[in-house]
Structure 1
Amino acid sequence: MNGRRIRIKDIAEKAGVSIGTVDRVLHNRGEVKADTKQRILKIARELNYQPNIAAQALKSPTAYRIAILIPQSYGDNLFWDQHPVGIQKAVEAVQPYTVQTRFYRYEMYNTSDFEAKTNEIREWNPRGVIFAPIMKKESDTFCHQLDDANIPYVFIDTFINNTNCLAFLGEDAFQSGRVAASLIDMGISRDKDILIVNTAKNLENTEHLNSRNQGFLSYFMDAGINIGKKISIEIPTAQADVVSNVLDPIFNQSNNIGAILVSSSRTYAVAEYLNQKGLREIFLVGYELFGKNVTYLQRRVIQFLIGQRPVEQAEKAFKKLFDYLTFNTIPEKKEFQPIDIINAENMGLF
Structure 2
Amino acid sequence: MSDHEEKKKFGIKDIARIANVSIATVDRVLNNRKDVSDSTREKIKQIIKENNYQPNLYARSLSVKNNLSFAVLIPRTSLETGYWQLCLDGINKGISEFSSFGIVIEVFLFDQEQEDTFLDATEKILSKKFNAVIIAPIFIEETKIFVQECRSRNIHTIFINSDIPGYSSMGYIGPDLYSTGKLAGNLTSYLVKDSSKVLILNVAKGLENYKYLNTKIDGYKNYLNAMGKSYLMKVKDIPFNNYDEIEPELLRLNFEIEPDIVFVTNSRVSVVAKFFYEHQELNKPYIIGFDFLSANVDYLSKGYVDFLICQRPDKQGYMALNHLYRYFLLKEGSIEFKSMPIDILTKENYAFYEN
Report the TM-score, using the length of structure 2 for normalisation. 0.79
Match of residue 303 from structure 2: 300
Shift of 1:53: 6.8
Q: Shift in Å at residue 102 of structure 1? A: 1.6
Deviates more, 1:213-222 or 1:243-252: 243-252
Instruction: Output one character per residue of 1:244-296: Cα deviation in whole Å (capped at 9) or x when no partner.
Output: 232222222233x1011111111111111122222453100000011211111
- Structure 1 position 129 matched with structure 2 position 123: no
- The answer (yes or no) to whether the contact 2:159–2:168 under 8 Å persists in 1 is no
| Structure-1 residue corresponding to 2:267 | 265
Correspondence 1:316 to 2:319: yes
Q: Is 1:187 the equivalent of 2:191?
A: yes
Taking the aligned partners of 2:111 and 2:133, their CA distance within structure 1 comes to 18
Measured at CA, do residues 178 and 148 of structure 1 come closer, stay the same or move farther in structure 2, by a change above 3 Å? same
TM-superposed deviation, 1:88:
2.5
| Matching residue of 1:18 | none
Aligned AA (1:260) = V
Which secondary structure does the structure 1 equivalent of 2:332 belong to?
A: coil
1-structure distance, mates of 2:234, 2:59: 60
Shift of 1:216: 0.8
Residues 1:100 and 2:101 aligned together: no
Aligned to 1:89, which of 90, 93, 102?
Answer: 93
Instruction: State the alpha-carbon separation in 2 of the partners of residues 207 and 334 from structure 1.
Output: 23
Aligned position for 1:74: 78
Residue 156 (structure 1) shift: 1.0
Q: Distance in 2 between matches of 1:53 and 1:131?
A: 31
Provide the C-alpha distance between the structure 1 equivalents of 2:206 and 2:233, rounded to a whole number of angstroms. Answer: 20
Equivalence map 1:1-350=2 (5 Å):
54=55, 58-59=59-60, 60=62, 61-63=64-66, 64-94=68-98, 96-203=100-207, 205-223=209-227, 226-255=229-258, 257-278=259-280, 279=282, 281-332=284-335, 334-350=337-353
Give ranges in structure 1 of 5+ residues lacking alignment.
6-21, 28-47
Farther-moved stretch of structure 1 (156-165 vs 55-64)? 55-64
The 2-side partners of 1:102 and 1:125 are apart by 11
CA contact (8 A) 1:176 1:212 kept: yes
What residue is the counterpart of 2:42 in the other structure? none
Unaligned runs of 5+ in 2: 1-14, 16-27, 34-44
Q: Quote the offset at 1:196 in angstroms.
A: 0.8
Q: Secondary structure at the match of 1:270?
A: helix
Q: How far does residue 201 in structure 1 lie from its aligned partner after superposition?
A: 4.3
Larger Rg: 2
Q: Residues of 2 paired with 1:231 and 1:345: CA distance? A: 30
Greater relative contact order structure (CA < 8 Å, 6+ sep): 1
Deviations 1:280-329 (A, max 9, x none): 53100000011211111111100000111122221111010122122332
Q: CA deviation at 1:58?
A: 4.0
The one-letter amino acid of 1:309's match is: R
Check 1:26–1:277 CA distance in 2 against 1; reply closer, same or farther (3 A cut): farther
Inter-partner Cα distance in structure 1 for 2:243 and 2:211? 25
- Residues 320 and 331, structure 1, Cα contact 8 Å, conserved in 2: no
- Are the equivalent residues in 2 in contact too, given 1:166–1:333 (CA < 8 A)? no
Identity %: 23
Does the CA-based 8 Å contact 2:204-2:241 persist in structure 1?
A: no
Distance 2:254 2:204 in 1: 20
